[in-house]
Amino acid sequence: MNRTTALVAGLLVALVGCMQQQTTSRSQVAEDATDKDAINTVGAITVVGNVEPIPVHGVGLVHGLNGTGSSPTADSWRTMLEQAIRRAKGNPRELLDDPNKTTSLVLVSAVIPPGGRIGDRLDVEVSLPPGSKTTSLKGGTLLACDLQNVELASNARQALASSGIPVGKVPLASGSTLLSGSRLAIAEGKVVAGYDGPVKSTGEGGPDPADGPRVGRIWGGAKNGIDRPYYFMLNESTPQPRLAMVVAERLNAVFHATGDKITKTAEAKVQGKPLVIAYVPPAYRLNPSRFLLVARQIPLTPITGDSPYRKQLENDLLRPETSLLAAIKLEALGVDSRQALRVGLQSDEPWVRFASAESLAYLGHADGAKDLAELAEKHAALRTHCLTALASLDDAICLDQLAELMKKPDPQLRYGAFVALRSADENHEALRTQKTATRSYHLHQVAPDSPPLVHVCTDRRSEVVLFGSHLPIAGPFSIPLGNEFTVTARANSPTVTVTRIVLKNGEPTPVEVTCVADAAAVLKALAELGGTFAEAAMFVAAAKKADAFTCAVAFNANPRGLAIQQLALISRSDPSVERADKEVERVGREDGDIQTASYDLPTAADGVQANAKPAAAAALNREPGRLFGAKRPDGTDGDAPQSTSAPAPALNREPGRLLGRD
């Protein structure tokens, strides 16, 4: 790669997110353009850019395999890995050609989402290249691996041009040339394989344990190395640099009052095409789409306390059919809206209480914490929004409410509250987090004074959460877990025996651990013998199928919801929230594409499409702004998981081709 091409590749780090900009469908001046009090807003003169995820890829080495690895063939992947090993002062032949087959070359991929910050954790997919003789990645650990972005030279030229950088006479590489960018992330960690990826249901509440050992995940296994701010791009009709400075000033004025008083939220760039670079404020870290919604509603000029616009919003807040939109617009006016929102908490209407409490939380006030908890318990349609708002506000009152919700009987509610609390403070005393002996998954035992529930999460995190203090298991049963482990119990026995077959002097030898007949004890015994998350999850699924548990069991019981825009439309004809709750149940049973919500609010002319598929609410996870991913739930009846998570885009399996393109 010549010097010019290398320079362009470096520029791609900053510009790749701009290559595809999500534009809005209409200007956001007011809900009704004929309103005499209509005012100009940030959304009226801008569109949102830098909203596309950035796929990153690398070639890595997994070690610690139990004789299931292989020596890679002499191809481009091996050459790349050998170079990386030499840079780390290692011996390529010693590591790659291990006669004990404890290592394997792997392809590593992840996605950096929009709105991300340096240091954010990213989920990683680890897979094998075609022709690899490695039979399983189970039990392996990925050594530190650089992840880069790649792009076609033609796309790079287009990105530079669209950013105002002249490229007509620049000797850029030909359009079909593949450019490698800079290091954008570093991946490493324990690989979870054999269960966490796509699984086939046996139809009896258990997965196919033979599925997926050649593909692994490292949840949160990569560390993001770049900031991904949003861009507020001025419309073509209003490209004046002065307006960019006005937008930045208004964003800072509104969001500084609720967050970091030192760090700016927005900064105007007036060279080239004017734009505003905006970072997600701390209050919106779990819900960046909410930040964009609110930011686009910020008036370009400050609104006084006696403004007709503010008075109209305060009146609209108290009406169920307009409360959600009014609350967002009041939130966009800043902390001066607190008193009006507190009035909304006194309403008997659930929509009004919800809208008021949610906006108060994002404005930094816990006045509505109790209301959010009550609404999360009562209304499935509002649950994800309530839990996310409680987690977003760093306040002891909110965290206490989440801890109390973990004691409720509904699996989706209590696990959703657990995830929200973990996102707010992963060291909270109510979580009782511990790594298992094999360090391949998290085991929690929480809410000791609550109904017993065993919950297994295979989606975005390898985790078992035990609710309650006593989770008994009853025999008789004998449960094989792969080729090495067996869990057995006799009828009416107070103990369970966990057995693993290991090789001693070349001979298969059983090693046993006996423990009390309790789910927590069995899982710890499995880990003590070297069992990974695959064995833990398979045991829970098989024990449920055998009716060994005397308590409830659930897999991936993430709460589901509707986008705030869809809720706003439904609220116009559903004052009791009954229809919205039913709609959530309908969506929860579907397995279809969930469209991403736009950054606009519905207008008075928008209507509810009876047969339209509603967008899922943002949710909780390691991607910034997501607590509960928009994925198909398996329900709360405890059936084994149906993983539908879309894997990170895979690294091109054929050197010389860009991500599968000819």
Compute CA distances 346 → 66, 335, 355, whole Å: 62, 19, 12
| Tokens representing residue 299 in the block | 């008036």
Q: Is the pLDDT of residue 522 over 50?
A: yes
According to DSSP, the residues that pair with 223 across neighbouring strands are 121, 186
Q: Which of 11, 4, 1 is nearest to 156 (CA)?
A: 11
The whole-number pLDDT of residue 151 equals 74
The whole-number pLDDT of residue 239 equals 65
Q: Are 404 and 373 in contact (CB under 8 A)?
A: yes
495 phi, psi to nearest 5 deg:
-130, 165
| Tokens representing residue 34 in the block | 């004929």
- 463 vs 540: CA distance, rounded Å: 12
- How much is the CA Rg of the chain, to the nearest whole Å? 27
The whole-number pLDDT of residue 68 equals 94
**Amino acid sitting at position 8:** V
- 496 vs 490: CA distance, rounded Å: 8
Phi-psi region of 87 (alpha: psi -120 to 50; beta: other; left: phi over 0): alpha
Position 161 confidence tier, pLDDT thresholds 50, 70, 90: confident
- Angle, helices 519-528 vs 533-545, to 10°: value is 140
Q: Are 614 and 566 in contact (CB under 8 A)?
A: yes
Q: Is the pLDDT of residue 157 over 90?
A: no
Length of the chain equals: 662
DSSP 542: H
Residue-wise pLDDT tens digits, 35-88: 445 689 999 999 999 999 999 999 999 999 989 999 999 998 999 999 999 999
Q: Quote the distance between the C-alpha of residue 182 and its chain's center.
A: 24
The whole-number pLDDT of residue 208 equals 40
Provide the mean pLDDT of the chain.
Answer: 82
Residue-wise pLDDT tens digits, 469-499: 999 999 999 999 988 999 999 999 999 999 9
- Percent of the chain surpassing pLDDT 90: 62
Cis peptide before 559 (omega within 30 of 0): no
Position 182 confidence tier, pLDDT thresholds 50, 70, 90: confident
**Amino acid sitting at position 523:** L
- 110 vs 125: CA distance, rounded Å: 6
- 254 vs 257: CA distance, rounded Å: 6
- 642 vs 631: CA distance, rounded Å: 10
Position 236 confidence tier, pLDDT thresholds 50, 70, 90: confident
- 435 vs 445: CA distance, rounded Å: 12
- 660 vs 654: CA distance, rounded Å: 8
pTM attached to this predicted model: 0.81
Position 460 confidence tier, pLDDT thresholds 50, 70, 90: confident
The whole-number pLDDT of residue 511 equals 96
Annotate 79-147 with DSSP letters as a single string: HHHHHHHHHTT--HHHHHT-TT--EEEEEEEEEE-TT--TT-EEEEEEE--TT------TT-EEEEEEE
Annotate 584-617 with DSSP letters as a single string: HHHHHT--S--PPP-SS---TT----TT--PPBP
The whole-number pLDDT of residue 606 equals 76
Residue-wise pLDDT tens digits, 285-317: 999 999 999 999 999 999 999 999 999 999 999
Q: Are 548 and 474 in contact (CB under 8 A)?
A: yes
Edge to edge, what strands does the sheet with 46-49 contain? 46-49, 230-234, 275-278, 266-269
Q: Which of 495, 599, 521 is nearest to 21 (CA)?
A: 599
- 195 vs 67: CA distance, rounded Å: 19
In this structure, of 159-173, 216-230, 330-344, the range with the lowest mean pLDDT score is: 159-173
Phi-psi region of 492 (alpha: psi -120 to 50; beta: other; left: phi over 0): left
- 366 vs 356: CA distance, rounded Å: 11
Residue-wise pLDDT tens digits, 13-35: 333 343 344 433 334 333 333 34
DSSP 24: P
Q: Is the pLDDT of residue 648 over 70?
A: no
Q: Which of 504, 410, 422, 405 is nearest to 463 (CA)?
A: 422
In this structure, of 220-224, 328-332, 433-437, the range with the lowest mean pLDDT score is: 433-437
Mean per-residue pLDDT, 162-179: 62
DSSP 412: H
Mean per-residue pLDDT, 513-518: 96
- 106 vs 264: CA distance, rounded Å: 41
| Tokens representing residue 477 in the block | 């049963």
- 375 vs 223: CA distance, rounded Å: 36
The whole-number pLDDT of residue 588 equals 54
